[in-house]
Amino acid sequence: MTIYFRVDCGGHYGLGHAMRCRTLAQALHACAPDVPLAFITTTPTLGDIVGTDGAPWRVACFPDEWTVFEGIRPLIHHGDVLVVDEPAGMGWTEPLWRTKLRGIIPVVRLDAPWAEADSCDLLVLPGMHHSAETIERLDAAFGERLLVGAEYVMVREAVMEHRRPWYDHRAGTVFSAGGADPEEALARLYTMTRPLQAHLPTSLPFWFLVGYLSKPWKLLRPSSSDFVTGFSPLTIAQAGLFVSLWSTTVYEALALGTPTLTIARTAGEAEDAARLEAATDGAVQSLGTLAGLMRETLCDRLVELWQDAKERKRMHYASAGLVDGNGAERVGRAVLGLARESYE
């Protein structure tokens, strides 16, 4: 029995898919330490992201999607399971899951609301941002093969270690554009907020979290380097306010109880963010899309929240208990159950 993870990172993928699979792999190893784990990728840098030295898994890299299938088939044995985590827009692989692997090995898909019922044996939708129509459609198609909701959000242990029962409304504001940031959105947020930076009191600093795979910044002045730091869950946990592009990091901030403003890349993400705002009673609040976000809108909202400590405290308390940090364990047990059914 081996659990395989098919995932890439960087560019359109970002970093969240890889980190989510890594979190699930850690939970699987904790539940079943004797079960081998392996990552299958077309991204040479994936090994650096998920880690290989001393890790309880191996990483195999292939040149392209087609050679992935040709390479993985000889490795498959009775009782193995394939976990697939791919972003929206990669639906061209759907026929491959059906014709090349489905029926040979059980397939689990993560966060793929577009999935057809015959493309996988288990569909996991972690989160609270899916529409009622989507959930109803998938429930009718998948039945018990569908796991959906906040209880399946997979948050890294490194995040949960910094969760705190208290909130400091006097702390500064942290900005993030995710782990890859192909649009260089973080630099844009820096530029948009420069009028505020000049008037910041020392007690309310801005921190810009540069993702693991982000390009070097060209817009930062040397004098601003003190405001730039590497991506850190601790920095998010200690923030008085978190501003992030729509990504899995938004759910990490929710788990940490940090009041969050999120900015979508696409109209579809903006709809997801609006639904999450409603589901969390405003613990996470949407600012619309990055393309449509005006400097004045962003700066005015930041000032409003700085001046309204009561609202930020309310956002903090609204997040309590929504993401408990046990999602990876729940999904891991479901995956192991599928593997045991296949083996038997």
Of 303, 51, 341, 66, residue with least CA distance to 197: 303
Strands of 164-248, DSSP E: 173-176, 206-210, 228-230, 241-245
Residue 20 pLDDT greater than 90, yes or no: yes
- Mean pLDDT is lowest, of 7-21, 72-86, 150-164, 322-336, for 72-86
Q: What is the pLDDT confidence band of residue 274, given thresholds at 50, 70 and 90?
A: very high
| Residue 263: how many other CB atoms lie within 10 Å | 26
Residues 131 and 135: their CA atoms lie apart, in Å, by 6
Q: What is the pLDDT of residue 213?
A: 61
Q: Please give the Cα distance from 232 to 237 (Å, whole number).
A: 9
Domains of the chain are 3-154+325-343 (3.40.50.11190), 158-318 (3.40.50.2000)
Calculate the dihedral angle through the C-alpha atoms of 83, 85, 91, 97, rounding to the nearest 10 degrees.
-10
Instruction: Output the pLDDT for position 94.
Output: 58
Across the range 97-121, mean pLDDT stands at: 80
Comparing CA positions, the residue from 241, 183, 179 lying closest to residue 207 is 241
- pLDDT computed for residue 225 by the predictor: 44
Task: Write down the mean pLDDT value for the chain.
Answer: 86
Look at residue 272 in the predicted model and tell me its pLDDT.
96
Beta strand 3-6 with 81-84 is parallel
What local confidence, expressed as pLDDT, does residue 88 receive?
A: 67
Name the pLDDT band for 229 (thresholds 50, 70, 90).
low
Residue 227 scores a pLDDT above 90: no
pLDDT band with cut points at 50, 70 and 90 for residue 100: low
More confident residue, 222 or 117: 117
What's the predicted TM-score (pTM) here?
A: 0.90
Categorize the per-residue pLDDT at 92 as very low, low, confident or very high, splitting at 50, 70 and 90.
very low
**Mean pLDDT for the stretch of residues 52-64:** 89
Which pLDDT tens digit goes with each residue over 187-219?
A: 889 889 888 877 666 666 788 877 766 554 444
Mind listing the pLDDT tens digit for each residue in 232-263?
888 899 999 999 999 999 999 999 999 999 99
- C-alpha 234/C-alpha 252 separation (Å) is 11
| Mean pLDDT of all residues in 69-86 | 81
Judge contact between 111 and 125, C-beta under 8 A: yes
Report the pLDDT value the prediction gives residue 98, as an integer from 0 to 100.
54
